[in-house]
Amino acid sequence: MLGSTNFTNKRNFLKQLTFLKTEIHTTMDVESIVLACEEMAVTKTGVLIVLERNNNLDFVRSTGDKMNIEINKPILNSIFYKNSPLHDGAIIIKENFIIATRIILPLSNKSLPSRFGLRHRAAIGITEKTDALCLIVSEETGKISYIKDGEFALFKNNNELIETIRYDLN
């Protein structure tokens, strides 16, 4: 098909490529994300990670810098390092790639206790408007929070968090 000069079947060819794309499904490396959050929690490094699911996040993606970086712990640690030019704002992860950094998220109008800051309000805001999931590491306390559907999701330990995120992504 690729070597053919017959362009009358071009639409069918493009449909086949789209069909193949849906068969190739990359699973997200949830372990690396949670382990990186765990490391940054120890140093109280502020983190805001948005995990894209079905709803397209292009409306917020355009507020930051577009990327195409495969997920791993060193990359996540370097992005959120305090002196990194990319550490402000959120990152968006789609499938197994960081697709944007320095994202500005819509804020929630919910009344939150004062111990929760702007990161938490932004995470709640994006999960209220979309089906995205959010992970936060508090700069003040070093605690990891998981936000789904505009609410805090509770977990006992990091293994349970990994399993919960995996379940929610499917």
Q: Are 169 and 161 in contact (CB under 8 A)?
A: no
pLDDT score at 119: 92
- Tell me the β-bridge partners of 53: none
Average confidence score pLDDT of the chain: 87
Residue burial 123-134, b: 16+ Cβ < 10 Å; e: rest: bbbbbbbbebbb
| Residue pLDDT, tens place only, 2-15 | 555 554 455 455 44
| Residue pLDDT, tens place only, 48-101 | 999 999 999 999 999 999 999 999 999 999 999 988 888 889 999 999 999 999
Mean pLDDT of 104-116: 90
The values of phi and psi at residue 150, to 5°, are: 75, 15
Output the CA torsion sign for 104, 60, 70, 135.
positive
CA 78/CA 159 separation, integer angstroms: 23
Q: Are 128 and 150 in contact (CB under 8 A)?
A: yes
**Structural domains in the chain plus CATH codes:** 25-169 (3.40.1700.10)
- Tell me the β-bridge partners of 47: 137
pLDDT score at 82: 86
- DSSP assignment of 108-162 equals P-S---TTS-HHHHHHHHHHHHSS-EEEEE-TTT--EEEEETTEEEP-SSHHHHH
- The pTM score is 0.82
CA 84/CA 87 separation, integer angstroms: 5
